[in-house]
Chain A
Amino acid sequence: MASPVKTLATAAILALAAAPASAALPAPPFDFSLSPAAVTEGAPATVRIAPVRAPSAGAPETYDLYLALARTDEASFLTEDGAWSPSPVPYARAVGVNAPPIVRQWPRAWPPGEHAFALLVVPVSADPLARSAWRYRPVIRWLDVEPRASGDASPDYATVAILVVATLGAIAAVWWTVLEGRRGTRRRGLACAP
């Protein structure tokens, strides 16, 4: 690569990397996790919320923390006792930025589906659905709640077996063609040899 071009390309990449994200809201002073990543409907999951960084200067020291579904049309908030509320209910109230981590069991994960959870960190008593009140961007984490008995059929082993056989047959046909082709090439190569 011509060196001026290399310099230019490097500068462009660095500028892009150093540029602040255009989403104006900063990351919140709390992070959270849901474990395990996939649970069966009705089984427990663990919610862990922990302070991760000091808030910016002048920011409040305590916040209400909400856990909401991030992809549903309707507002849904996880309450402290693991139920869902259609109106805002804090998962933890007035939590200090130096507080110890919050670790709670969600006793029965529900409903089934691949859920995106949002941790909303808002000043105490602020409305989490009023985005103008947000000081921090939400943190998104996923949890896959596998249905336990949702009308899904039990595995259809006969169908799976047929598909396995078909797949093996297809794989065999392809590899037979590959090996046959190699043999053919070798034969042609020998025929052409001096």
Chain B
Amino acid sequence: MSWSAAARSPSDWARRRPDLTAALALAAITLVLFAPTLLSGRTVSPMNILAERAPWHTVIAPVPPPNAALTDIAQVFHPWLLYAGEQIRGGVIPLWNPHEYTGAPFFGNGQSALLFPVTMIAFVLPAAVAVTVISWVKLLSIGVATYWFLRMLGPGPGPAFIAACGFMLSAPVIGWLQWTFASTFLCLPLLLGAIKRLRERRELRALVLVAVVVTLDVLAGYPQAAAQALVVATAWALVLAARAGGGLGFLARYAAAVALGLGLAAVQLVPFVEYVRESFVFVYRSQWTPIFSAPFRSATTFLMPYYYGVGKEAWGVWQFAVQTGYVGIVTLAVLPLGARAALRRGEQRFFVGLAAVGLALHYGLPGVSLAAEVPGFSLGTNLRLMPVIAFALCVLAALGLEALRAEKPDRVVPWLVGGWFTAVAVLVLVAIAQDHTRAAARQMILSLPVQYAIGLIALTLATIIVVRMMAGLAPARGLSALAVVQVASLLPLAATYNPSVDRGAFFPTTPAIDYLRREAGHQSRVLMPGTVALTYGLFEAQGYDGMSPRRLVEITGVVGTGGALARGFLQNTVALHGSEPLSGIRILVSPVLDLLGVRYVLMAPGAAPPRPGLALVYDAADARIFRNDGAVPRAMLVRQARCVDDPAALEAIRGRALDPRREVLLADCASPPASADGAGAGPGGSAVIRDESANRVSVQVSTDRPAYLVLSDTWFPGWAATVDGHPTRVWRANHTLRAVVVPSGAREVVFTYAPRSLRIGALISVVALGLVALAMIPGWRRR
């Protein structure tokens, strides 16, 4: 091979395979972000948040400074991945999480996303590695899926690549990356692309593709975004149907595909619906959901992602991922070109409409915000539309760049680009002039004037390249320059927003945690900061899954972060969406600390007892632990029962008129089961949890008389029980707990969680899978 041929070959290779090259470039960008972390023994996780709390302050350094906006990751999503991985590797599909909320559905909670392919990485790799790989795979998938859709829509490789970078590294994607919410961003381009293919090809395979993507969307683990994506997809299908010829048939095929997709996802969807009906979040949101909007000034974040700061220096009304719309400088620069190009081409107008509606809802345009109250939307929280807006803007950017590449610009276009640049620069300058002296803004490391200067230089550069392309700069050179500007403008945020920590700091144990493991074990509950007890195999009554079992909340008091209670104030229920955590402090100040079996309370070193009657049993540098001797054990025998309706049960429990060691309140009965009632008071027996996994609890009981075995775990549809292998009824006891009647003698009581909703869902999914298999058989496809 000659020198010149060798030198030419890489570019020739890339020119012949533009799509593969683009995909590899996207992969290379994501590798730049994640490879150093993976190779250096670190993990992308905001564990530094725990550094501010006992007992982890002794083993985790608060470096970089914790970003409270990532708390959900440290307290919910990463603990879940760890728990799911451990359970699956142990041969158990964790349908139930007994460690939080005194027990709650896990598989069906809507966000654990156990069937989403990306989650399965946590089933194979150690959790501290898996969380990084999952973020990497999600990010790359979002980029490649966006590129695939854009290419299908029409733009060439260069414009599609630049726009795909814009979405992949946008502030909404990076900000939400470690939530399951981000998994749904992958489904949006896939869904729209699959629907377009279905419109173009009357093939069963195209129908199946839509169905599979709908399934992925549902399984991704963020029901609200899945529903929003389906609304967007249906609007897109209606727009595509408007093309001449075969519109109704296409819509029928689309409807069939969606039905098939929902059917495939039924195994997760039906248990989720069951949990929704039993959840506290549904109680609140079906009643009223506060609808808020972002201040229009936060549109400055399209030029300056750090306008409102990050972490401890954040000063905006909403958290970073909610209010920041940054999609890259090139995306912003070519937006008017994209809008103009889209408005001239039938179906592509859809993306102008999508961006406009999304922005109107986000910024609360009068009247339009009422749309947030329509069925479905009002069950979610608004202000979750920024990813959809970012996607629409990136599609418009691709269309604008394509017009720049392939079309001869008319006279208006340069004026449009120049005018847009001027408007953006002046409007943001006005905002800066007003905000740069704010006390909060002045405390940011990167001051607003400096941020503006950086943004202005980048936007000027991008705009000049665009204008030069209109004036004759070779499209390939222009697009290459724009690609560099785009990636350079996006990488700093993508590389710094999600912190990494040493893998050893991923849910490390401390002497205090070891003490709790030893003393509490399975027999009693603990109360410690956050909701991470499940990562240590401990059991707690607080919890956070965005749903919350409603009967538990009815006896403890409403959900909430606990911040108000900690400061001695009343929780403001007006501000609640119902999806907030059930905090530890709520449990602590509730009248049911004893009833729920919370025996150990972990506090900061030197802390005073949080309530009277607690004994100090552990005092060291990492924490103080107090023992609550009034707490009932998780499993205990009770001799007396009373049948009461829910209001009476709540009144007795919240009014502390129930002695849970002596009596149990049963629901849904007229009189207590004869076999145990009236057996008299007094212990006369024992109950010990012998064996436990996610979906099963085995209790060894010994009693000289018939008794009620009360397990202070959440009652929920789907729990069944046997006594020595014979099925027995699981009573709803003390409003939210479980009880069974136990005859005298030594008995083994086994509680098993196998909800009918799962069986129904699985049956529907199997039928749907059969239909898909049929559709893929060549003979059927031809029909």
Contacts and interface: CB of A to CB of B under 8 A. Distances in A.
Nearest to A13: B238
Given A68-B572, A71-B292, A160 B433 contact: yes
Among A23, A118, A131, A160, the most chain B Cβ lie within 10 Å of the Cβ of A23
Interface stretch (A42-50, A53-61, A96-104, A170-178): A170-178
Contacts of A1: 242, 247
A125 interface: no
Contact of A129 (B436, B459, B573): B573
Interface in B373-390: 373-376, 378-379
A5 interface: yes
Interface string A151-194: 11111100110111011001101110110111011001000000
Given A74-B570, A155-B433, A174-B460, A22 B439 contact: no
B379 A22 contact: yes
B575 A73 contact: yes
Given A2-B245, A21-B378, A156 B572 contact: no
B564 A74 contact: yes
Nearest to B377: A22
Nearest to B433: A160
Contacts of A5: 238, 241-242, 247-248, 251
B421 interface: yes
Interface stretch (B174-182, B282-290, B503-511): B282-290
Contact of A24 (B287, B438, B442, B449): B287
B140 to A, nearest CB: 35
A75 B564 contact: yes
A16 B411 CA distance: 42
Main secondary structure of the interface of B (DSSP, over half): helix
Interface string A73-100: 1111000000000110000000000000
Contact of A118 (B415, B421, B574): B574
B300 interface: no
A74 B573 CA distance: 9
B437 A130 contact: no
Given A86-B569, A114-B295, A173 B561 contact: no
B467 A181 contact: yes
B552 interface: no
A76 B572 CA distance: 8
A127 to B, nearest CB: 10
A13 to B, nearest CB: 9
* Candidate in B288, B459, B574 with the most chain A CB atoms within 10 angstroms: B574
Given A4-B248, A138-B290, A174 B570 contact: no
A137 interface: yes
Given A185-B471, A188-B472, A74 B569 contact: yes
B17 interface: no
B interface residue count range (under 10 / 10 to 19 / 20 to 34 / 35 or more): 35 or more
A4 B244 CA distance: 11
B470 interface: yes
A46 to B, nearest CB: 21
Nearest to A19: B375
Given A129-B573, A166-B456, A156 B436 contact: yes
A8 B573 contact: no
Interface in A91-123: 114, 116, 118, 120
A73 B563 CA distance: 7
Given A74-B569, A129-B572, A177 B467 contact: yes
A23 B288 contact: yes
Contacts of A52: none
Contacts of A69: 572, 574-575
A34 to B, nearest CB: 16
B373 A8 contact: no
A134 B287 contact: yes
B436 A134 contact: no
Given A22-B379, A138-B290, A159-B449, A75 B571 contact: yes
Given A156-B437, A177-B464, A23 B286 contact: yes
- The winner among B288, B417, B442 for most chain A CB atoms within 10 A is B288
A9 interface: yes
B463 interface: yes
Contacts of B414: 178, 181-182
A12 interface: yes
Contacts of B426: 167, 171
Contact of B290 (A6, A24, A140, A182): A140
A187 B402 CA distance: 25
Contacts of B433: 155, 160, 163
Contacts of A175: 418, 422
Given A12-B238, A73-B572, A173 B472 contact: no
Nearest to A4: B248
A75 B374 contact: no
Contact of A167 (B245, B284, B290, B429): B429
Contacts of A181: 414, 467-468, 470-472
A9 B574 CA distance: 37
B575 A174 contact: no
B120 interface: no
Given A173-B460, A177-B464, A9 B238 contact: yes
Contacts of A154: 437
A154 B373 CA distance: 42
Given A130-B573, A181-B468, A159 B290 contact: no
Given A25-B287, A180-B471, A72 B575 contact: yes
Interface in B425-446: 425-426, 429, 432-433, 436-439, 442
A114 B315 CA distance: 12
A138 B437 contact: no
B442 A140 contact: no
Nearest to B561: A73
Most chain A beta-carbon contacts within 10 A, residue among B291, B561, B575: B575
B452 interface: yes
Interface in B707-748: none
B473 to A, nearest CB: 9
Contact of A120 (B471, B561, B564, B574): B574
B597 interface: no
B317 interface: yes
B453 interface: yes
Contacts of B166: none
Closest 10 CB pairs of A and B: A181-B471, A151-B439, A74-B569, A5-B247, A22-B375, A75-B570, A74-B564, A21-B373, A75-B572, A170-B460
12 contacts: A23-B288, A69-B572, A70-B574, A73-B569, A75-B569, A76-B572, A114-B317, A129-B570, A138-B574, A147-B439, A173-B464, A188-B472
Given A73-B571, A170-B459, 5 more contacts: A73-B572, A86-B570, A160-B433, A163-B429, A178-B418
